[in-house]
Structure 1
Amino acid sequence: MLGPVEVCGPHGRAALSGARQRSVVAALALRAGTPVPVDRLVDVLWGDDPPRTAVRSLHSYVARVRQALADCGMPGALMTKPGGYQLDASVDAERFERTKDLSLWRGEPLAGTELFGWGRAEIDRLREQRIAALEVHWADRLNRQNAAEELERLVVSHPTRERLVGLLMRALHLGGRHADALEEFHKLRSRLAEEFGADPGPELIALHTAILRRDPALHGTRPAQLPARAGHFTGRAAEFAALAELPPIVVVSGVAGVGKTTFAVEWAHRVADRFPDGQVFLDLQRLTPAQALTEMLHSLGVPADRIPVDPATLYRTLLHGKRVLILLDDVRRAQDVLPLVPGDQGNLLLITSRDTLSALGTRHAVHTVRLGLLSEQEAHALLAGILGAPRVCAESGATSNLVVHCGRLPLALRIAAARLAVRPGRRIADLVRELTRNDPLDVLAVDGDDRTVRTVFASAHRTLSPQAARLFRVLGEHPGASFSADLADALGPGLDELVASHLISEAGNGRYALHDLIRLFARQSGDLSDGVERLLDRYLTIAHAANNVLNPRHDLVTRPHCDDLPFAANRVEVLAHLDAERDNVLHVIRLAARSGLQRETWQLAYLLTSYFEARGNWAARVEQCEHAVRAARALGDQRAEAEMLRGLGIALQMTSRIAEAMVVQRQALVLVREAGDLRGEARLYNNIGNAHSELREFDLALESYRAATRVHRAAGDEVGVALARRNLGYTYVRMGRPDLAVEPLFAALETFRAEANPRLEAATLMSLGNAFHQLADLAPALRYFGDALRISREVTDHRFEADALIGLGVTQLALGDPAVARECLAGALAVCRALGDRHREASTLHHLGEAERALGDLGAARDHLAAALAARAQAPDLFAQAQVHRTFADLEGRYGRWTEAARHWAQAVALFTSCRRS
């Protein structure tokens, strides 16, 4: 296309005869890869007055071109599309648009064709692209000996093109032809006046003036101001790869100390040879925009007495047609950069900033590089580069600990390495110990260097608005790994400012985090005595609103109504929000306890009771309740103490610490009796009965449930009565007396449905499923388990969901369908593990082993049973453990491993005997 039209295929050049065939190829190649309608082709081939036979002639030309393409090895390149034709081929014109490679040109574009309308416009566009590329080409080569000669030839063809004339004037001036340069200006001015009645533009007039004055800046000093590279540069391969195409404006942003300047300087050195007109470096931390512009002109060779009133125009003029790399370090605001943006995209503006400078992107095309922390491997490599690989390898464990204490922050790692490097005999473990025992912000400093982790953070902090600084201080008290946007917004304005300055980073899913060292700095960045209270107040507000949705009967704590909530008042949204906060809850309760805020400690643990009943994570719940019990006891609040002892007992029971659970439940029982709290007393009887049931002390369990029923009835609590009945039926099932279980379970089910309590309805349906399973009436058992599963998922109660899936799996196994049973049990296992419920996990693994045994996969069965025994070590249940050994013995017998079978039988018998004795 960039010369006479030709098509070259694998077998050589296509034989295109006549201008019409070449024109067809040219028109299709101009839209290569895109269908061109027939009417558009007629327009471009015949113009405004096509013959009546134009369409028929077009089809004929296309057929001949298609044959010529096939002959040269390109069959199928010219395709018929609905309403037109499409050419699929590599086109030199398209390649030139991407690369500006002038060697692709062989003459006039589309030579040998006869095109009209849009075809002629395309020819003009290609000509313009070529001359623009030639201008860029010669702008980089004005000092070459033949520059003026080549530019004179181009000006002859384009006598009114101002940029081209300007390049010629520069080349003549640089070559000592001062008068000729001025003459070219006068010739252009005359032509423009005669032909268009216009004058040359301001850039050319400024150039004419500079030549008249013989301005030394025209001779172009070549600045080379890049700072030295940092030693032992490590990582950032992906970030460098993203800059391979040299975008004209790059902003490198990231948290203080992450290595923005180090990265920018390293990359600038790597690409410096692609900017032959020089590299300029300015530290904008200490310069106003006006001072920065003056410094930039000085760097480009402009004397102080020659800097005009409007230096920005001269700055852009000097950079026009050049290739200069400009590195602006430590930019604070987008406004400071705007006057320094070159007008010519051949230059590169490289910026480092703690801010993302998003405002700059509203005016210019900006490529942003967001530097994150080093990976653990990169951090090790950096330390090894500075300290030497043998030293790091000799203390690999201590090195890993050092990386953790430095938070994988490059500045912290370099400072730590520098401290170790000056004392070759010091162990890395000694520095880790110093970081552990002292304030890391004090330790991470080197004598004689004022660039410490603390000073770098302080520099970023000083630029914050008062509101953002206050929010930063409050969020520094947050003890969890991440926090939600709504929490930050509820605590005050400034989140977007903190994120833009990289003092807070996005953690995904609408959550944010502080680097550990930044969190420590935030806590030290000024007095904010109410920071912890404000955090806890927000968590209490959320927990109270959530509790009102999950279990309004849980009403020991009251708080003012709040409309500013991050969830709607429905169970699904409440649980989803608390799921996102689950890892934070224990940390927040620890913070309250550590801060001596006793009321907030027990109230927060209390209000989260219903969440943990639905979601598990009982090990964390034990510690929460222990903090809450101590807090309530310190306050002398017996009712709160009793309630949290009750919660602690449930958590202990769910972690298979049943004997301890019994102790704390009885402690709580004494307190509620003293307080005359009938409802609390009845609840505790229920819980004590559950503990007895799990210990297989069934008579004592039944006695406790009857007591619970009696007290619930005295308190007028029909839901409590139904709960005691449900527990009674559950225990009858565990006793192997399903015939006695059915009546109290149906009575409980009726109450729960009348009271619209779907969670306890699901629990009762599961007990009914187990009862009918024991009665060998499997059809209703499947139905009850299925209903329980549906309801559990509707209310997103994962604990009951796991129980329902286990019930379905065991029933399907009894029905002789082990494949379906395995599917149900696999689903249950995933839920149990997500809950961290080792007791249910062990039971599920046992049943999975039975399903695999029924399917004939004895290896998988053995693995599941072994895993069940391992889980039982953390959730002891002698009877359940004995059942696993019994199944294991049968399995080993099928393998023919009689010794192993006998060992498992002996363990099963011993455990069953222990259960009977106890």
Structure 2
Amino acid sequence: MPGTERTRALSVRLLGPFVVTIDGAPLPLSSRLRTLLAVLALDVGHAVSTERIAAAVWGTDRPADTRKAIQVLVTRLRAATGADAVRTTPGGYALDVPPEAVDLHRFETVLARSNAAQERTEEYRLLREALGHWRGLPFEAVDSDVLIADDRPRLLETALQAVERAADVALSDPGQAATDTTTSTPAPDLDELAAGLRELVGLHPLREGLWVRLMAVLDRAGRRTDALAAYQDLYRTLRDELGTQPGEEAQAVHRGLLADDPAQPSPPRMLPPPDAAFRGRAEPLAALDALLDDAPGIAVVDGPGGIGKTTTVLQWAHRAADRFPDGTLFVNLRGYFPTNTPLAPEVAVRTFLDALGIPAGRIPDDADAQTALYRSVLADRRVLVVLDNARDVEQVRPLLPGGRRCVVVVTSRNRLGGLVAVEGAARVALGTLTPSEAEDVLAARLGAARLAAEPAAGDELLALCGGLPLAHVIVAERAAGRPGSPLAAVVRELHRHDSRIAALSADADRPARSVFSWSYRALGDDAARVFRLLGLHPGPHLTVPGVASLGAVTEQRARAAIAELERASLLIELAPGRFTMHELLMDYANELVAADPPQDTGAATVRMLEHYLRAAHQAEEALAPTEDRHRLGAVPDGVVGTIAPTGHDAGLALFDDEGPVFVGMVRRAAATGNPEYTWRLARCLRAFLWARGQIPTLLETGHLALDALETLGDLPEQVACRRWITHALLRLGRLDDAWRTIEPTLPLAESCADDARAWVLNTMAAVLAELGRTDEALDRATQALDLFRRSGDRVGEGRTESAVGLYLRRLGRLDDALAAAQRAFDTLTEADDLWIRAYTRELIGDIQRDRGEPGASADTLRAYTEDLRSLGRETGLAEALDKLAAAYDAAGEPHRAATTRRDAEAVRSGVPAATSSRPPSSTA
């Protein structure tokens, strides 16, 4: 019959946008008819009760006569689909069409066949066929709370389980990389599978099973960096949404990625050298030995300053180093450094990640995520972590590894009772040396024969040192430097200084202060003056040119003074040309320099700041040569210059060496009332801190600079500083804080030049874009562009037009976006702004891809990768090569795509430990 033929031609799609066709032509239906047909199609061929139909169509707001209302709907549906498409049954209705007319039935049928498949390749083929029926969320365009709330989750769960099973099958046999010759079934396309999984984790971000498969598939496809990045995405998602961390399965996959990473370098060995003359401390060493067989182990070695905590721990750590095949980590947390702030935990974590060889592209900006990555890296490794000179528990906790094979030893003047009570740390308390230990220490440094020749003088020396190891070291070195002088003479000198200082010292400090005073007064004039002035230096280390500038002496005289201080054990050489001082000695130097005339110490502070400003300025010029900066005048009298680094890598290396000192100088300038040096030093550090991902430090120094600029009343620099702070907040994902920072900046910029206002508008646009307010972002960027054109700032014009192109692309205005990006590219070429021009070329390639021009996109993105190589920008190169490979795939060039992916993996294997993401100015 004609009606029957029409019924057979009916097709219903539930798995995605709801579509009904007859003979291939779309069938328009009203909202309630769509719902009625959907609920019948769910159980095609089977009776559906009127109660079920009423709940799906009307929910709780049902008509007075529900049965009659359903009859009316069924009559209308039959009129549209054919008289016998819907069959009346006792208590309900059934959709009377072949089951294969409904995509859900086809999905379930093929899925059942996959369960029964004998061969893995056939199982995978059937799973893909089944999943091919899915085109989105079930019941799209069906207005039914019941179907969406009850049936959609059930169907999605079935589909997601099928996806996970398909991924497991694809990963189950590494030999599936080739076509199966018995079935002619193509092997799984891992990149296609990864793309599908990536889309699904976006839709179901809390389903860890999908993330686990995504990481594994990316790794099998040779994209280990992407796999590691996926773990970080999962970590942030669970932390932000649920306040939890990934489960054991995800963590296990992550540990496997890290453990099997070919880019991992040799284990880190960060321990400073031990003291060759170390003696004694048998009980503390035995207590530390007990940690080796009881990992995970934590010990807190505590005691007063100068008691030998670090020396004892380093002696034990070197002795036990072979028990830690995966390396040793060491950091001085500077908990009690008198002229600098304690080291922030996030800076220490980043230092450890760099030492462990984790490429910067894999290190997230967020401090919590960095800590999670650090713990994941160490989860299955046997590593010794020495945290020296901790101030409190809060400084230590983020640095505790997450695995059960690591050992942590913390030194502190504080007992850190929280670690003992909560983490179960063992406490090892150091006291003064026993008489026999003290004698052994002195004998090791002076020689047993010399000590035995004057036993009475030796006993008095020991008594004057009071069992304090630092005092023994200084006394021994001083006496050893006078081999012809009897020990009794040394004792007499010490007695005189001891009597002068006894009235000023508590008993616990007396040995150290007596020895320090005696040793200091024995120095020559230059060395004594340098020692005092070192009380002004923020540390944590110093160099010969820095000392020369501080003291207004030649480098030759500074080198001689340093050598004398080193011989007297008042300075320690950390590495060739880099020196440091014990905190107690720094305290003592502080006391001495405080008595100097203020005009002298003020002048010395200015010379020191000037020296480091010039060094930081030179490093910044090498690191970021296109950045606008204030030029410095002639070198002032008394300040010693340094050799300027040449090239990006040399600038980065200088910052790596001196970065902690530069940051300390910003703090010192702020604390001593030198606002001009505060903001200038902070300004020089921006590019480095950004490149190394030290965003919290960038924020700290940025706020110090802003305070200084407000004191000076320098509005243009205030505006620029607030922009940098905004970009730092953006990078940390603190979008609301970023907006609160940049919004009040625009009124400040009104009295500045056009380009200053333009940069503020551009930064506001960047924040608005991240907030999802793209229309507003485009409006602000367009205003900025007009101002840049008016002021003639070609760099600003080019960068802003690039941002305009980005926002237009996000709004789907691809023709306008391409035109803007091409204009930006030409302007940036003219302005010689090669870095941002490269990123604009990438934008052009992305737009071409969006426009369906894969060949042009591939050509553009290939040029972009060449830009990155020519600029020495290894950061982002692997990601760019991945994008180029995808473009080659889309252009029908699979062999070039495969070669490009191999290039990307090779780049990842050689990525340096610390790099930069694109600069904030790329979109500002």
TM over 0.5: no
TM-score by length of 2: 0.42
TM-score by length of 1: 0.43
Larger relative contact order (Cα-Cα within 8 Å, sequence gap ≥ 6)? 2
